[in-house]
Structure 1
């Protein structure tokens, strides 16, 4: 799916003050896209702020060495959002995922823009530049830079490479194409170092993280005749072990390593006792975006998420029931073998 970038190029050239935001608990695609886009806009002489509802997780802070991304209500004031001429939202199209920043957006007179690759979507009243077939929002930012005629510098290249690498499971997911690898190669030419990025993302774990991962793996369960695997983590375990929520990044994918699994989820209790659930699927027929949307979440057919209210055991059971229903639907849609 090719995006016509010309309307956005016109918006960029016609305005000076930009605010960039992404979803709560930003991941590498969210932050990497923000940093990459900020550097592109700054190269054009624009004034850029990055304001998110959540603080940047420690494991991806290396993508933002100047700490440009700031949390609303702590390092960033509401006036920064309200005074922007253009508010660009990356890697989400959800009011819920924008949280407190979204509330300010509703009050602001700024022109709204969305750059995203997720299927699930709210009407943000924005000019949308979406490609739901794209491997990552970071890849869309690279294509925007090309349309603008801007060469990406090293810091932005690092952020955008991390965005794409993480959202593709380090280039192993089905969305990866020849175009993905060409973009990755271009970012390496611009200064991204895959070795350094991988080391920062995956080889900086603490002993607390290893112990938390061990517990989650030890309590993994299977259901649906082995087609569903899932695990859970309660908040008191973070406290007991000295781990942090970012230590669970990508842990849900461990469940898909069990032979025969078609789907997976991990339920993680938050400090406020809400439960963040990440859903994964191996099959197009098992649409986990539709599963997540039952809980006002969303994402892609093969990777999605939602936040459920507590209590914890109830939230886990609701997630389990929803995934069992999803697997049942997937089974019914498969052609029956003749015999």
Structure 2
């Protein structure tokens, strides 16, 4: 497995008893799987632990939302009623903006901070930062921590972590997939993860609303720069009329990249708050993390995200200009 030194984390865990785990807004499978895996490790070590996020898990990841485990701030709990904790462990992000409403709470808390992440983009979170950008998923790092601490996962946690790694690697298609990734996935299978069931739960349980939204949005696919840039959008009217959620746009940006000649793509989604959420993707020669960072976002070279103020047409033009600058600079 990896060569991370987990000694500093071991010291923090040994010296403290209660832990809060959190991750980024609109959590994906890697965020949820990493949270649930870290929770299992801490419980296995006899610690008190709770998970509180700014956003609820999306409907397509309902199997990664065990009852009463993942709490939503200002819904299940408030800042005043979050269980007492000595340490905050932030997984799968190193950016304040990505923490949403949890950001203000964590910054005001006197609890120690730990970050476990694999993303390139980063803020100074004044934390013990345990980051490995060579890891295909934060879930990989959680598996390494479990091995380091001698904790064995049950089948449920193995499935959640398999989902974390499989989705973040595009089901082991992305260049980030390594021999280490495959070894960890195999170990999770030995512990009870069932790949075809995980795939079915993630990708073959779509709602009618999700399918209708996808058809509507993809029907107006736009191309720029002689087909090198592809983009789509979903506005509030699309979401309302199809009865879909913003999370139902997940994966559509990858469809854009399947167009021959496409080198980069983005999807813009208008949220209820009026903000515009962007998902950015690129082929191997382009760095969309640098684009995302221009707008306070971040992520990986080939897959990143950002959120900016509306209105939608203005936000799209700003993002389009940034993409075209990237493509022209790297021609």
1:306 aligns with 2:331: no
Uncovered stretches (5+) of structure 2, i.e. residues with no partner = none
Q: Distance in 2 between matches of 1:179 and 1:106?
A: 35
Could you give the per-residue CA deviations for residues 267-304 of structure 1, whole angstroms, max 9, x where no partner exists?
Answer: 111111111011111123x1100100111111111111
1:323 aligns with 2:315: no
CA shift, 1:155, in A, is 1.6
In structure 1, the residue matched to 2:54 is 53
CA shift, 1:82, in A, is 7.3
Q: Distance in 2 between matches of 1:139 and 1:94?
A: 20
CA contact (8 A) 2:57 2:65 kept: no
Q: Secondary structure at the match of 2:323?
A: helix
Q: Distance in 1 between matches of 2:42 and 2:81?
A: 17
CA shift, 1:63, in A, is 1.2
Q: Distance in 2 between matches of 1:270 and 1:125?
A: 30
CA shift, 1:99, in A, is 2.0
In structure 2, the residue matched to 1:140 is 141
CA 1:67–1:158: 2 relative to 1, 3 Å: farther
Aligned pairs for 1:1-339 (under 5 A) are: 2-79=3-80, 81=82, 83-284=84-285, 286-331=286-331
Q: Distance in 1 between matches of 2:80 and 2:152?
A: 32
Uncovered stretches (5+) of structure 1, i.e. residues with no partner = 332-339
Q: TM-score of the superposition, structure 1-length normalised?
A: 0.95
CA contact (8 A) 1:82 1:104 kept: no
CA contact (8 A) 1:298 1:305 kept: yes
Superposition RMSD on alpha carbons, in Å?
1.2
Q: Distance in 2 between matches of 1:92 and 1:19?
A: 15
Q: Secondary structure at the match of 2:100?
A: helix
CA contact (8 A) 1:17 1:85 kept: yes
Q: Distance in 1 between matches of 2:293 and 2:83?
A: 30
Q: Secondary structure at the match of 2:51?
A: strand
CA contact (8 A) 1:81 1:104 kept: no
Q: Distance in 2 between matches of 1:80 and 1:123?
A: 27
CA shift, 1:106, in A, is 1.6
